[in-house]
Amino acid sequence: MNERDQEDEALIAVDSLRIVKILNQDGSHYGWAFECPGCDRNHHVTTGWTFNGDEVRPTFSPSVLVQGVEDITDDEADRILAGEQIPPRPYVCHSFVADGRIQYLGDCTHAMAGTTVDLPAVDVRRSTQATETVPNNRQ
């Protein structure tokens, strides 16, 4: 195998990873981050979830529940500055990550509710703007 082939193989290996391990500042294991196509940002799960150990076809259990409020739009920002009251819109992203795929449950407020898609390969250059998640045992 020549040097060029080895480089290509290394790139493919990195591209196929669908999660990134996150460490605490002291080097201990905090959890994993994955890119959520429904929210177009990364979510993280901690060691409070079970993990099948497969970074290419990860499975986490239980489900991943992200809750918050929607970002305000530029138009809303202008209206708030003009004195209008705009109530916050609740935001929910609720999913199962299984076998390298993400299944969005019906209570998601984003457009991918009810769909199942492959987890995107992790872009390690992308900032890990992670959102807080909690294990959810309702399902």
Least distance from C-beta 136 to Zn ion, angstroms? 13
Q: Which is nearer to Zn ion, 79 or 99 (CB)?
A: 99
Least distance from C-beta 83 to Zn ion, angstroms? 33
Q: Which is nearer to Zn ion, 79 or 121 (CB)?
A: 121
Neighbours of 87 (CB within 10 A): 6
Binding site for Zn ion (CB under 5 A): 36, 38-39, 93
**Dist. CA 17–CA 54, nearest whole Å:** 9
| Element of type H or E holding 14 | helix 3-16
**Dist. CA 19–CA 47, nearest whole Å:** 14
Going by C-beta distance under 8 Å and a sequence separation of 6 or more, which residues neighbour residue 49? Answer: 31, 60, 61, 62, 64, 135
Q: Which is nearer to Zn ion, 48 or 78 (CB)?
A: 48
Strand positions, DSSP E, 8-71: 20-23, 29-36, 41-46, 50-51, 60-61, 63-69
Q: Which is nearer to Zn ion, 39 or 45 (CB)?
A: 39
